[in-house]
Amino acid sequence: MELYSGYISRLIGELSVLPGIGNKSAQRLAFHIINMPKDKVENLANAMTEARNNIKYCKECFTLTDNEICPVCKDETRDHRQIMVVENTRDMTAYEKTGKYKGVYHVLHGAINPSLGVGPNDIRLPELLRRLQSVDATEVIIATNSSIEGETTAMYISKLIKSSGIRVTRIASGVPVGGELENIDEVTLSRALDARVEL
């Protein structure tokens, strides 16, 4: 027997696929949504559809953006030869919030994770290597998370590009082990950047 109406069950089902949303949270959200004013619900649904339909990957750094080239890559005052490698757009945003970093980024959209079958070619790593062939980079700063996957990815990238003579650095581990970059405050991030070490 269905506990709820088919519509509510479907809404709960769709919400529960979101990360961090278990069945209980999905139920809470579903009942919240159906009690919201109709126009608010429409705005929410439209925002989701429009974001999904219109957001692109930047052609240079692969961050998520509204344009072909993101505002950071477009900015000519930044140092385009210093490239910071991050796992995702949220990490890039975290570094941008510090206001300290004046180089550009490369967004991998993940990290190498053999246990989940995620290999180097499943993230935007081939794109980084291609980019390094056309840009005369002075430094690649590896700012992947300090999780096992982040460290594995950092070591892998370092091995690949060090032989090319490009300076490779890793942000300092003032960042707690297993800590997700995006949850770390701006002061700690700035410090981790300043105290980066040669790989």
Nearer to Zn ion, 149 or 182 (CB): 182
Nearer to Zn ion, 58 or 112 (CB): 58
Residue 58 as a binder of Zn ion (CB under 5 A): the answer is yes
Residue 12 as a binder of Zn ion (CB under 5 A): the answer is no
The neighbour count for residue 122, using CB atoms within 10 Å, is 16
Among the listed residues 12, 26, 27, 60, the single contact to Zn ion using CB under 5 A: 60
Contact of 95 with 142, CB cutoff 8 Å = no
Nearer to Zn ion, 54 or 163 (CB): 54
**DSSP letter (8 states) at residue 176:** P
**Least distance (Å) from Zn ion to the CB of residue 139?**
17
**Least distance (Å) from Zn ion to the CB of residue 62?**
7
Residue 128 as a binder of Zn ion (CB under 5 A): the answer is no
Nearer to Zn ion, 70 or 137 (CB): 70
Cross-strand pairs, 198: 169
**Least distance (Å) from Zn ion to the CB of residue 197?**
26
**Least distance (Å) from Zn ion to the CB of residue 16?**
33
Distances, alpha carbon 83 to alpha carbons 2, 115, 145, 179, 181, in Å: 54, 28, 16, 22, 17
Nearest to 149 by CA among 75, 57, 87: 87
Nearer to Zn ion, 124 or 170 (CB): 124
Query: What angle is formed at CA 105 by the lines to CA 87 and CA 172, rounded to 5 degrees?
Result: 65
Amino acid at 27: Q
3 state DSSP class of 65: strand
Contact of 70 with 58, CB cutoff 8 Å = yes
Residue 73 as a binder of Zn ion (CB under 5 A): the answer is yes
Q: Is 86 left (phi over 0), alpha (psi -120 to 50) or beta?
A: beta
Nearer to Zn ion, 65 or 169 (CB): 65
Residue 61 as a binder of Zn ion (CB under 5 A): the answer is yes
Residue 107 as a binder of Zn ion (CB under 5 A): the answer is no
**Least distance (Å) from Zn ion to the CB of residue 191?**
25
**Residues binding Zn ion (CB under 5 A):** 58, 60-61, 70, 73
